Amino acid sequence: MLNRRLVRIKVFQTLYSFTQDEQANRTFYEKQLLKSLSGIFDAYYFVLAFPSCLKHVTGLELETELAKHFPSQEEIKLHQSILNNPFISLLEKNKTWQERNKKCPYKWENYIDIIRNLLIEVKKDDHFKTYAKNSEKKPAEERKIIQYLLNELADKNELFNFQLEETHLNWQDDKGVVMNAVNKSLRLVKDETSNFLCIPDSETSELEEMARDLYNKVLRHEKELSSLIEEKTKNWDVERIAVTDTILLKMAICEILYFPSIPIKVTINEYLEIAKLYSTPNSKNFINGILDAIQKELKATNKVVKEGRGLIE
């Protein structure tokens, strides 16, 4: 689920927080960095757990409706389309998911009132209403409706996003990655024994190590990186250079110098993309110009040592 761009973004955000803290503790922020990466998996598990809890609340609501008055057949069908969805049952019966879900620090069961309100929104959805009216649903349709509801809620529903932000501080930044993983996982569910979960593995460990390494090397080589930037920005008003641009430049130069397996072109392109997302409208061109000048100088003085994939131009 994790990737190198996401790692760079997390390191960038951590370094930004570090620079804004007058009493910053390097170890504390390193722990926060790793926590932000592991938190992506927690958000992923939390989203995956939603259908089952929605089903539970739907059952409670239907019981209440039946006890109070005579609900319409349409209303009953809407409830039953969630209660009797076999795809949700497959998720609930998967033992690997059961064990993993137990370890998730956040539980929808603690937010029953929110789920009740979300259920109201779900029942208003025209696509869901059409699905509920169909008495002969195919297995693929049972899965697709769950995917549809999760994506609609994540994309458009304020209450759903509010709850995710409450439990996962960086939800808006991580939502795209999390929902891509959720959709990929749900497509892999064929029966109750399907191996569909994204679980931290050796690649995750490597990316966490990259994050830790990049964070620490930027701080360790602070003076050298700052000096290189200052040399190329002598004609610039230092106060007008965005803090975000300075951090992105330091990270990029650090990669060029101290990450031999990453090609220079890849490094520069990655930070230009991050600049478009997190810095000023003019940052991309500014950063591109400074990095181009610095990497040429470093190459000319034989300070860049690349190996393996890092040799690719």
Q: What is the 3-state secondary structure (H, E, C) of the chain?
A: CCCHHHHHHHHHHHHHHHHHCCCCCHHHHHHHHHHHHHHHHHHHHHHHHHHHHHHHHHHHHHHHHHHHCCCCHHHHHHHHHHHCCHHHHHHHHCHHHHHHHHHCCCCHHHHHHHHHHHHHHHHHCHHHHHHHHCCCCCHHHHHHHHHHHHHHHHHHCHHHHHHHHHHCCCHHHHHHHHHHHHHHHHHHCCCCCCCCCCCCCHHHHHHHHHHHHHHHHHHHCHHHHHHHHHHHCCCCCHHHCCHHHHHHHHHHHHHHHHCCCCCHHHHHHHHHHHHHHHCCCCHHHHHHHHHHHHHHHHHHCCCCCCCHHHHCC
- Considering the domain architecture, whether residues 173 and 227 belong to the same structural domain is answered as no
- Considering the domain architecture, whether residues 103 and 178 belong to the same structural domain is answered as yes
- Considering the domain architecture, whether residues 60 and 145 belong to the same structural domain is answered as yes
Is the pLDDT at 161 greater than 80? The verdict is: yes
- Considering the domain architecture, whether residues 171 and 229 belong to the same structural domain is answered as no
Whether 130 maps to a domain, the answer reads: yes
Of 141, 169, 188, the one marking the end of a domain is: 188
Whether 215 maps to a domain, the answer reads: no
- Considering the domain architecture, whether residues 164 and 226 belong to the same structural domain is answered as no
Of 147, 168, 188, the one marking the end of a domain is: 188
- Considering the domain architecture, whether residues 44 and 143 belong to the same structural domain is answered as yes
Whether 245 maps to a domain, the answer reads: yes
Of 169, 188, 207, the one marking the end of a domain is: 188
- Considering the domain architecture, whether residues 237 and 174 belong to the same structural domain is answered as no
Q: How far apart are CA 12 and CA 251, in angstroms?
A: 8
Q: What is the predicted pLDDT for the residue at 241?
A: 85
Q: What is the predicted pLDDT for the residue at 124?
A: 96
Whether 89 maps to a domain, the answer reads: yes
Of all residues in the chain, the percent with pLDDT exceeding 90 is 86
- Considering the domain architecture, whether residues 283 and 179 belong to the same structural domain is answered as no
- Considering the domain architecture, whether residues 225 and 184 belong to the same structural domain is answered as no
Q: What is the predicted pLDDT for the residue at 305?
A: 87
First CA to last CA distance, the chain: 27
Is the pLDDT at 313 greater than 70? The verdict is: no
Total tally of structural domains belonging to the chain: 2
Q: How far apart are CA 45 and CA 273, in angstroms?
A: 28
32 close to 212: Cβ distance less than 8 angstroms: no
Whether 198 maps to a domain, the answer reads: no
Q: Looking at 109-113, 257-261, 278-282, 294-298, which range is the least confident one?
A: 278-282
The residues near 300 (Cβ < 8 Å, ≥ 6 apart) are none
Distance of CA 190 to the CA centre of its chain: 25
Whether 196 maps to a domain, the answer reads: no
- Considering the domain architecture, whether residues 181 and 270 belong to the same structural domain is answered as no
CATH of the domain at 298: 1.10.940.10
Q: What is the predicted pLDDT for the residue at 206?
A: 96
Whether 131 maps to a domain, the answer reads: yes
- Considering the domain architecture, whether residues 291 and 166 belong to the same structural domain is answered as no
Is the pLDDT at 298 greater than 70? The verdict is: yes
Each residue's pLDDT tens digit, 59-112: 999 998 888 778 888 999 999 999 999 999 999 999 999 999 998 999 999 999
Hunting for tokens 């696509």 — which residue is that? 127
- Considering the domain architecture, whether residues 132 and 253 belong to the same structural domain is answered as no
Comparing C-alpha atoms, which of 18, 167, 194 is closest to residue 97? 194
Is the pLDDT at 310 greater than 70? The verdict is: no
Whether 112 maps to a domain, the answer reads: yes
For 85, the domain range is: 40-188
